[in-house]
Structure 1
């Protein structure tokens, strides 16, 4: 059994307990399922001690998740926030808390070039655009322009 992911409270209020139980799947935002990998991959990620995986909370409710992963020279951040929580500072708050937990620099991130909101979240947290490329996006089932960002 894997230890439960610890929460990040994106609104800055403290959790009542330092323990966080696994959230029942029925409570997770549907947008997370559209973007997550199969259960086997998630289990592998959760068992990797170098991965920092956190549930994002907004006013005590699950809003999404955020993680840091990868080898020391290529540490990368990722996050998914449910659509109902967009535009409220939830992603920015969660990412700001997450990068405090990871001392390794540089940290890397990628965002779809047309996802201005996500690029802005990363920039607010100190990331700068360091490159661009094209790649296949499984969620969109097409090639997209990608922006690479780095936090030094």
Structure 2
């Protein structure tokens, strides 16, 4: 990790093209589970996330390693609760990038408590949340577009 320069610049509209390509990966989509109904619809993807860029309740950052876009991370608000979401391009999995990016992001984004929801079998993402101080506080069920079925998800919270 010491030779990797991880930065979190504010997301720009041009970054969305890379994000779109990342979420086309079927294995990544399966693990993320709660994804777009049609991940292949680039127009809908770009329109949706372009709106997020100007939403004052959303803090959207691009994860770069040595100036190369490798993922995204954002704080959003649903039902008055702050939530966290992140996505790392699969070819960069297992390198500690998500954990480092989330720790850095949590120094920028001060909303607390902040929640993370993760599919029951997405062990990598569960580990990232736990490594960043999130605590598993419950379970829920939801329809996972990427799997076309209802699955269990774990709810994590970071209080401070």
2: CA distance, partners of 1:20 / 1:133: 30
How far did residue 77 of structure 1 move? 0.4
1:63 to 70, 84, 93: 70
Match of 1:31 in 2: 22
1: CA distance, partners of 2:133 / 2:10: 30
Higher relative contact order (CA 8 A, sep 6+): 2
How far did residue 38 of structure 1 move? 2.6
Deviations 1:55-99 (A, max 9, x none): 111232111100001169400000011110100001111111111
Match of 1:106 in 2: 113
2: CA distance, partners of 1:134 / 1:24: 29
Task: Tell me if structure 2 keeps the 8 A contact 1:51–1:70.
Answer: yes
1:42 to 40, 49, 59: 49
Task: Tell me if structure 1 keeps the 8 A contact 2:7–2:63.
Answer: no
How far did residue 144 of structure 1 move? 1.1
Unpaired runs of at least 5, structure 2: 30-34, 37-43
Q: What RMSD in Å do the two structures reach over aligned CA positions?
A: 2.6
**TM-score between both structures, scaled by the size of structure 1:** 0.79
Match of 1:87 in 2: 94
1:117 to 100, 105, 124: 124
How far did residue 102 of structure 1 move? 1.4
How far did residue 31 of structure 1 move? 2.9
2:140 to 133, 137, 140: 133
Task: Tell me if structure 2 keeps the 8 A contact 1:29–1:82.
Answer: no
Match of 1:77 in 2: 84
Paired residues, number:
139
How far did residue 24 of structure 1 move? 7.5
Match of 1:4 in 2: none
**TM-score between both structures, scaled by the size of structure 2:** 0.75
